[in-house]
Amino acid sequence: MAATKTTPSAFEDLGLPRGSLPRHIAVIMDGNGRWAQARRLPRAEGHRRGAKSVRAVIEACVELEDIEQLTLFCLSSENWKRPRRELEMLMRLLEQYVIEERSEIMRQDLQFTMIGRTEGLSDKVLKEVAKTVECSQANKGMRLCLAVNYGSRGELVDAVQDIARAVTDGSLDPDNINEETISSHLYTAGMSDPDLLIRTAGEMRISNFLLWQISYAEIWVTSKCWPEFRRDDLFEAFRDFASRQRRFGGLAE
């Protein structure tokens, strides 16, 4: 995950002026298994190759420097329906990633965090994640957020339950509940909403990912599977994002 800080060449390659990039990018990394099966490889190999795409995207974002947060959808709460062997492999891959990339996370001054429910995750994974979160919490660079065992409906249920408890114990007046109240009880409390949502493998759905947070995000879909996704593809998404008018319900100026 080696990368240099911002250089003029990065923006020259992108062909966009400063201020035109999304500050927060969310990615649904889809198609690892399909990519592998199309090449008659084990599904596990698709996940391993997908880790290379993760590194490439992080490198590009760090190089541009204007990106404040990258949120990657690593494991859905619905993915537990998959074969046990594949899930065990995904846990090992996540643990390996957190350990092996820790030094690079520190070198590049990244703030590492994870959102999602911890139930079902191995103790080893949780231990290594907690260690990386702790050692990177004072960093000042881009926030790297992994969504693991994450489902947006479950997140909203958890938020509603927290708010209900606050109402019950008298610390919150129901009449004072507003959008900010809900946002502050989500897993993403304190984070900005994504400006750009990228999905790979050509699927035209949200898949229960950040439903509240992406209300006004621009959506960009590519037919490429995640193991094929690289810097040039990310830059294509950025150029498309920069060409759009974000009106947030208003009229274009």
Which is the catalytic residue, given 30, 32, 149, 195?
30
Look up tokens 């990106």; give the residue. Answer: 67
In a domain, 13, yes or no: no
Per the annotation, the verdict on 139 as an active-site residue is no
Lookup: tokens for 84: 């046990």
pLDDT of residue 6: 47
Three-state SS letters, the chain? CCCCCCCHHHHHHHCCCCCCCCCEEEEECCCHHHHHHHCCCCHHHHHHHHHHHHHHHHHHHHHHCCCCEEEEEEEEHHHHHCCHHHHHHHHHHHHHHHHHCHHHHHHCCCEEEEECCCCCCCHHHHHHHHHHHHHHCCCCCCEEEEEEEECHHHHHHHHHHHHHHHHHCCCCCHHHCCHHHHHHCCCCCCCCCCCEEEECCCCCCCCCCCCCCCCCCEEEECCCCHHHCCHHHHHHHHHHHHHCCCCCCCCCC
Q: Would you state the structure tokens that stand for residue 231, as one six-digit string? A: 């810097």
**Quick one: pLDDT at residue 250?**
61
Residue 231 lies in a domain: yes
Q: Is residue 135 assigned to a domain?
A: yes
Q: What is the per-residue pLDDT across 151-174, written as a single tens digit (0 to 9) for each? A: 999 999 999 999 999 999 999 999
**For the chain, what is the domain count?**
1
Task: Tell whether the model's pLDDT for residue 175 goes beyond 90.
Answer: yes
Catalytic: which of 13, 32, 66, 79?
A: 79
pLDDT tier for residue 249 given thresholds of 50, 70 and 90 = low
Q: What is the pTM of this model?
A: 0.92
Q: Residue 147 corresponds to which tokens in the numbers above? A: 């969504």
Is 145 a member of any domain?
A: yes
180 or 83, higher pLDDT: 180
What is the extent of the structural domain holding 57? 22-241
The pLDDT of residue 189 is 98
* Distance from the Cα of residue 47 to its chain's centroid: 16
| 204 within 8 A of 221, measured Cβ to Cβ | yes
Active site residue 66: no
Across residues 11-36, what is the average pLDDT? 91
The pLDDT tens digits for 97-150 are 999 999 999 999 999 999 999 998 999 999 999 999 999 999 999 999 999 999
Closest CA to 196 of 160, 146, 234: 234
CATH number of the structural domain spanning residue 49: 3.40.1180.10
**Residue 5 located in a structural domain:** no
User: Quick check: is 190 in a domain?
Assistant: yes
> How confident is the model over 56-69, as a mean pLDDT?
94
Residue 209 tokens, joined: 């990912």
Average pLDDT, the chain: 92
| Cβ contacts of 175 within 8 Å, gap of 6 or more | none
Please indicate, yes or no, if residue 42 is contained in any of the structural domains.
yes
The answer to whether residue 153 sits within a structural domain is yes
